[in-house]
Amino acid sequence: MRAQPRVERQAVSSWLRLPRTSVTQSAAALLAAASLQAVAHSGTGYLSTSGNQIVDGAGNSVRITGINWFGFETGTHVVHGLWTRNYKDMLQQVKDLGFNTLRIPYCNAALSPGATTNSINNWANPDLEGLSPIQVLDKIVEHCGELGLRVILDRHSALADNFWNENLWYIPGSPTWTEQRWIDDWVMLAGRYGGNATVIGADLFNEPKNSATWGNSAPATDWNRAAERCGNAILAANPEWLIIVEGVQTFAGQSTWWGGNLMGAASFPVVLSAPNKLVYSMHDYPASVHAQPWFGAPNYPANLPGVWNGFWGYLFAQNTAPLLLGEFGTKLQTTSDQEWLDTLMQYIDGDLDLDGQSDLPIGAKGMSWTFWCLNPNSGDTGGILADDWITVNVVKMAYLQDSLAPLIGAACAADLDGSGIVDGADLGALLGNWGGAGSAADFNGDGTVDGSDLGELLGEWGPC
């Protein structure tokens, strides 16, 4: 979305330090006595699609619930915040907050030979000193894998700090920033991270807008056809990735957010060589970002599901394809914004008519999403983090909390109730079977639920 150098400040009451998941006093005492450390679970396996669901290799529905961390698309050529914090600590915080995926915007200029980073504090990040932007990206991907986080790469723009001016996936008239350069860089990334299931997908181009069209009659501007060309080239290099295709701004005279109009997919669907790798994506924002006409409707916010269904929700409702809400965010400073976010979370969680009941079939997941953003220095929305790059906005997190999904592909033996989190309920189940045999709480299979099993449970405490 919109990265601006000016940092907006929230009301102080919104910014509180968010404690890690707490345990009962007895469990905390046992944890201290055992001197155990948490185990990082690395997710394994690539993802595909089935109907409107994203599925793992076993066909189980999974949900991407992630966050954007921007910077590679700006003049720093690296994610922001590394001037004050260690990147591994920041990624650990992303995981601790419960997100399972990181969407990383980049610009092609950052991938160019000779490109350099700036703004990295080498004292805080000694292993990044002297690395090129793409080598820093390698490090981030590597540590995401160690933590079990997944990564979506987002081609935000060709030039740094230029997405405002780039309506199309290439820059018309430029001999450098051509469609072929865009495709070649994607193919390079697909090969570079081939075989590494940490990186799960390619968001081909951020927010096609203005002159971008969707159809079959304007080769120079038909975004859907360009997405097919690029997506198929990526799949030839790396057949495992999800191909994420955003909408445009205007179709058939109806306009919405940049990249948020997928109406054209009904008549002109994106056709890939591997249809089960296609994910459509959209962005949505509140009235504080731009006063779209629907925010002034007398029945707002009850009118929002109708708006969303018309532009993109129909693809999910009709079981056509999965949807990824790639960007959405707000400072939550107005009642309108608060109502928008509350309604949006209900809708993408599967209550498509806002009647308080899920409209999803048993076993299905809601729409996937990546919140905008981790950074505090987004002028339009602020971030999950405050200006100190540490303190968490717990008010924002409260809106997202119930929608967070477990790490994708991760499994905790100690998650006895299958909630995706090892917590007090699992501890209670283990203690209830203490000394017994034949229990799922006998993690090491020695025939008795005892201290060794308790140690494993406490070592896995928290999100899987």
- List residues with catalytic annotation: 207, 327
Residues 101 and 364: their CA atoms lie apart, in Å, by: 19
Residues 10 and 376: their CA atoms lie apart, in Å, by: 10
**In 10 A of CB 389, how many CB atoms?**
19
CA–CA–CA angle 209, 211, 216 (5° rounding)? 100
DSSP, residue by residue, 111-149: GSTT----S--TTT-GGGTT--HHHHHHHHHHHHHHHT-
Residues 344 and 282: their CA atoms lie apart, in Å, by: 13
Q: Are strands 48-50 and 53-55 parallel, antiparallel or unpaired?
A: antiparallel
3-state secondary structure at position 187: helix
* H/E element, 338: helix 335-348
**In 10 A of CB 106, how many CB atoms?**
27
| Torsion sign, CA atoms 213, 216, 218, 220 | positive
Task: Phi first, then psi: give them for residue 130, nearest 5 degrees.
Answer: 80, 0
3-state secondary structure at position 393: strand
Instruction: Count Cα atoms within 13 angstroms, Cβ side, for 119.
Output: 16
Residues 164 and 197: their CA atoms lie apart, in Å, by: 32
Residues 28 and 17: their CA atoms lie apart, in Å, by: 20
Residues 182 and 176: their CA atoms lie apart, in Å, by: 10
